[in-house]
Amino acid sequence: MSATQYGETIWSELYPGSRPSVSCLQPAVLAIESSFDLAPGKAAPKSSFDLAAARRQAILWRLDGGFGTDQKLIWLLARNYQVIVKGFSGRRAENLATQVTRWNPYGDAWLGAVAFPLDFGRDVQAWIKRRMEKGQFKHSYYLTTVKLHSLQAAMALYDQRGGTEVEQFRNDKQGLHLSARRKQAFLAQKALVLLTDVAHNLLADFRARALAGSPFADYAAKRIVRNLLAIDGNLIWEGDRLARIELCEANPYAQALVDCLIRYCNSEKGAS
């Protein structure tokens, strides 16, 4: 699970392959609440301001169909979160599609608004997505608490969830070789995942503070590791102080990377 403009990983867990996605949602939410001081506290006087609840209201959970059961949504909404989610039941989607009175085009699909049959205790917008598959219409349904001006805008917001798969999973598998390193023992594989998280977050910090505004600003983990961190060079230390950075002059990226490294070292000094 990743978040923020820097793309760092904020929580990871490894489960057996037989465990369904829906059973992983609550542990993930509770772990995030613990890390960011978002957990609901004891009932407070009405006159007091619940900071954790206000923070939760500003958080949007974007979930695919494996997480979108009614029970899980009720649990999330009761904790004051915002959601945009694909529903769990294909049969319900087919039934709801019969209620649509107008279909609006969306790429190679169509969208239609519906009234959702379940009361979540919060205002929820629901819609159906219709697509043609092997000569037949297939339907899926979606829900959101976010107030948007059109179904197309809501669908586009949901589709943004794919950034995690591209930015983190693919880059961690290719750039950090997560998929190439396998451990037979479950706990060893879990440790490998967590160590990969550390590397991922260090690279995210390096990219944000060293590469911003440089020719490498759009580099992800794979290109940072392959094209930048693999450049031959030396670090010259004086005691515990880094005194000089030398990179192979024949490498076309060397000079620009030296400038980035100097910026990064200076930012470290400022942080301390």
Check whether 213 has a pLDDT greater than 60.
Answer: yes
Give the mean model confidence (pLDDT) for residues 199-227. Answer: 90
pLDDT at 12: 82
**pLDDT tens, 12-65?**
888 888 888 788 889 989 988 988 888 876 545 554 557 888 889 999 998 888
Confidence of residue 6 (pLDDT cuts 50, 70, 90): low
CA-nearest of 92, 48, 51 to 68 is: 92
Alpha carbon distances (Å) from 121 to 86, 135, 140: 19, 39, 23
Q: Are 146 and 155 in contact (CB under 8 A)?
A: no
**pLDDT tens, 171-180?**
676 667 776 6
pLDDT at 40: 78
Residue in this structure with the two tokens 């819609």, named with its chain if needed: 127
- How many angstroms from the chain centroid is the CA of residue 105? 28
Check whether 94 has a pLDDT greater than 90.
Answer: yes
Check whether 230 has a pLDDT greater than 80.
Answer: yes
Check whether 186 has a pLDDT greater than 50.
Answer: yes
pLDDT at 2: 45
pLDDT at 41: 67
Check whether 209 has a pLDDT greater than 70.
Answer: yes
pTM of the model: 0.71
List the chain domain ranges. 2-165, 180-271
